[in-house]
């Protein structure tokens, strides 16, 4: 069973290193998350999910190779 990668609805979204963190609303006091914060949160989650999908695909291939050997 293959899992499809999660694609963005536009060009690659670059996050500056200093902003590469998940922001939780509860830790921002009275300041609401702005649109960039929300976009960063989703992009970080999308990137991590895609890395997990890649790792799963590689693992499935290794298992199949071992089963076929």
Whether the Cβ atoms of residue 3 and residue 56 lie closer than 8 Å to each other: yes
Structural domain spans, the chain: 17-68
The pair of structure tokens assigned to 8 is 């963005």
pLDDT exceeds 70 at position 22: yes
Q: pTM for this one?
A: 0.81
Which of 61, 63, 51, 45 lies closest to 5 in space, CA to CA? Answer: 51
The pair of structure tokens assigned to 68 is 């076929």
pLDDT tier at 1, thresholds 50, 70, 90: low
pLDDT exceeds 80 at position 2: no
């Amino acid at each position: 069973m293959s899992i499809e990668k999660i694609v963005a609805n536009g060009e690659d979204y670059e996050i500056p290193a200093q902003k590469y963190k998940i922001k939780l609303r509860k830790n921002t006091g009275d300041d609401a998350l702005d649109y960039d914060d929300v976009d960063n949160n989703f992009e970080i989650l999308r990137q991590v999910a895609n890395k997990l999908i890649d790792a799963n695909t590689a693992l499935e291939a290794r298992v199949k190779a071992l089963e076929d050997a």
